[in-house]
Each structure stands twice: as structure tokens, then as C-alpha cells.
Amino acid sequence: MTGWGAANGHPLMLPAMRSDPRLGFNTLAERYGYRSYLCVPLKRGEEVLGTLEVVTKETRRFRPEERDLLAAFAGAAAVAIENARLFEATRFHLGQLEEANRRLEELDRLRREYLRNVSHEFRTPLTVIKGYAEFLLEGTPEPASFQEIMRVVLESGDRVIDLVDTLIEVSRIEQGDAERSLEIQSLDLGQLALASVESLQRFAAKKGVLVDLDFPEERLPLEGDEGLLHQVVRKLLDNAVKYSSPGGRVVVRGRSRGEELRLDVEDGGIGIAAEHVPRIFDKFYMVDGGITRRQGGTGVGLYLVREIVRLHRGTVEVESRPGQGSVFSVRLPRLHLSRQPEARA
Ligand code: ADP
């Protein structure tokens, strides 16, 4: 009978409910001694939200005024229910809005910090170059010091170029059709790793960190964009050395796993506290990003790693223990998307 009331949207008055064919639960009505029934719909406009019902144990012929009174009450109840629903929905949306706002504020804070850090990262090597240039202008130093000066100038120049390259690559992978701009070619993961290790060897040696390669297979062929994949290994390796203590050891491992290759960069450095792990791949995110930070950096390295790996349809993850070290693991499909079996199908 409730169903009938709801479906029809009209009041229903039954002096003898037990004999009505619409009654579905005769035994219940009999057990509780129900006899008469009045039902009015709870309506919001044309939509029926439910019903409001009165049952009596004595036989009663409901009067039209009683029906109208119950209908008026149902109208007020429907408004109250609707208001409660709207209130809930508004509160939910407000919560979402507050969360979005909080994220925007956080992003804004990180962006400001990033600008400050990038400026600082540019300024440091440029100041070194300028200082040595002024020194050389004043006179000719001994050949040995001259060599040392030129080495530092070169290293500082490399740092500036590295920064510019990173910025260019971030803007490249953020453009709309980044995937199409990939320059896919046949590569060897071992060669890529070796090149990265060689380019960072001096930095590692200066810090007293040993870098080892562990590639048991002679070749680990894969298809990808050489420049970008080189950046992936370089950034992971650079971080591994940067966040290691003097005397530490970094291992770069390469393995083949069926259709994919796996690259692990393991260090025994400072590690990453669990609360930071989900965010370190976010753009601009740095664990210790304040101006008092101990290490240089701009917070876009791991973001770049994740985006490049994604463009190659791979994944990157990290396992880390504070004080014990971290392992960053990259998985890459051997074949580029255009030649993977699903893409061919
Ligand atoms: P940054 O320029 O600061 O190195 P990244 O995006 O490369 O930026 O890294 C983000 C943050 O992740 C770093 O600020 C650092 O705190 C943390 N991190 C990255 N790699 C390591 C690592 N190997 N060991 C410890 N912390 C790391």
C-alpha cells in the first residue's frame, strides 16, 4: 500500500485495510491488530520522496480534514527533508572547495619557494664564475692554480647548463602533445646508466661517495627517447649521491623482466620519512625546501623523472627508510608503445 501511495502520489484512505488487495503483509497487520489506514505522499514538486502513514487499531473512517492535516504536515516534512539533504550536499561541496583551496595555497607556497630556490641555484655558480673571472683579470696565477680555477669555472658552467636543461625539459614534457615529440630510438639501458655514472663521477668523488654499476646482462636493449631517459637515470643518481653521507655507496642496477626492464638506484643515505614519500614526485616538492635547506635543489627533479617515465608508459616508485637509505625503482617497457603487442592488436 505504501508502494501504491508513493507510485501514484495521491492520498489513500482505507477504513478496512486488511481486506484491501494491495496489502502485502496481512499477517503483520493481523498480529498487531491494525484495521484502518491513511497514507499521504511526501512530495517535492512532482517527485515523491516517501510517504507518511497513520494506522489505527479501531476501525476508523478518516475525515477529509484529517487527510488534509496529514498532507499539510507531509508537505512541511518534505521541505525539512529536502533542506537537510541540501544542507548535507552543501556541506560536502564546501568541504571539497576548502580542500581545493588548501591545495592551491600549498601549490602557491611551493611555487614561491621554487622561484627563490631556482634563483639561488643560478646565483651560486654564476657568483663563482664571476669571482674567478675578476681574480684572473687582476693577474696571471700559477699554472696549477689556473687549471684548478678553470675546472671550477667549468663545473659551475655545467651546473647552470644542467639547470637550464631541466627547465627546458619540464616545459617540453608539459606541452600538449609531449608524447608525439618523443624521439624514439633503440638504446641500451646499461650504456645510459654508464654515461650517467661517468658524468656524475666527479661530484660523487668530491663527496666521497662510491658509485657502482650492477648490470649482469651484457645488453639491456630498449626503445625510448635517449635525452629524456638519460635525464631519468641522471636525476635519480644525482639525488642518491646528494642525499648520501661521505663514505656512502650508491648502486645502479639493471635487470630484464620479460617485456620490461627494471632500473634500481639504491643509496644508503638519509632516507625519506613516510609522510613525505607520497609527495616527493610532486612538482616543486622538497622535503627540506626552506631557505635554510641543507642541500641545493629545486624540487622538480623527481617530478621530471615521473613524467618522463609516464611518457614511456613505465612506472617509478620508491622504498625508503629514514636514516638507512632509499631505492628508486623504474620499470620501462622494452618496446615503445607503437610496437607493443596491445597497440598492434
Ligand atoms: P630536489 O631538487 O630537491 O632534489 P627532487 O624532485 O629531485 O628535488 O626531490 C624531491 C625531494 O625528495 C628532495 O627535496 C629530497 O628531500 C627527496 N629525495 C629525493 N631523492 C632522495 C634520496 N635518494 N634520498 C633522500 N631523499 C631524497
Per-residue pLDDT tens digits for 192-225: 999 999 989 988 999 999 999 999 999 999 999 9
Question: How many angstroms is it from 60 CA to the middle of ligand 1?
Answer: 79
- Angle of helix 189-207 relative to helix 226-242, nearest 10 degrees, comes to 30
Question: How many angstroms is it from 273 CA to the middle of ligand 1?
Answer: 11
Per-residue pLDDT tens digits for 124-141: 999 999 999 999 999 888
Per-residue pLDDT tens digits for 232-248: 999 999 999 999 999 99
Verify whether ligand 1 is closer than 6 Å to residue 268 (CB atom): no
Contact yes or no for 195/231 (Cβ under 8 A)? no
Verify whether ligand 1 is closer than 6 Å to residue 316 (CB atom): no
Question: How many angstroms is it from 275 CA to the middle of ligand 1?
Answer: 14
Q: Report pTM.
A: 0.72
Residue 121: closest CA among 80, 156, 150: 156
Per-residue cell: 120: 639561488
SS3 state at 122: helix
* Interatomic CA distance for residues 131 and 153, integer angstroms: 10
| Ligand 1, atom 8: closest residue by C-alpha | 299
| Ligand 1, atom 2: closest residue by C-alpha | 297
| Ligand 1, atom 21: closest residue by C-alpha | 239
Question: How many angstroms is it from 299 CA to the middle of ligand 1?
Answer: 7
Question: How many angstroms is it from 110 CA to the middle of ligand 1?
Answer: 14
Residue 292 has pLDDT above 60, yes or no: no
Instruction: Give, rounded to a whole angstrom, the gap between the first and last alpha carbons of the chain.
Output: 56
Verify whether ligand 1 is closer than 6 Å to residue 307 (CB atom): no
Verify whether ligand 1 is closer than 6 Å to residue 266 (CB atom): no
Contact yes or no for 213/250 (Cβ under 8 A)? no
Put the strands of the sheet holding 36-44 in their side by side order.
12-14, 36-44, 47-56
Question: How many angstroms is it from 283 CA to the middle of ligand 1?
Answer: 11
* Interatomic CA distance for residues 232 and 302, integer angstroms: 8
* Interatomic CA distance for residues 128 and 131, integer angstroms: 5
Contact yes or no for 330/263 (Cβ under 8 A)? yes
CA distances from 242 to 1, 34, 126, 331 (A): 75, 81, 20, 23
Rg for the chain, CA atoms, rounded: 35
Question: How many angstroms is it from 185 CA to the middle of ligand 1?
Answer: 29
- Angle of helix 64-138 relative to helix 143-174, nearest 10 degrees, comes to 160
* Interatomic CA distance for residues 87 and 67, integer angstroms: 30
Verify whether ligand 1 is closer than 6 Å to residue 287 (CB atom): yes
How is residue 141 annotated by DSSP? P
Per-residue pLDDT tens digits for 52-80: 999 999 999 999 999 999 999 999 999 99
Contact yes or no for 51/6 (Cβ under 8 A)? yes
Provide the mean pLDDT of the chain: 90
CA distances from 125 to 18, 105, 167, 168, 206 (A): 93, 31, 17, 19, 16
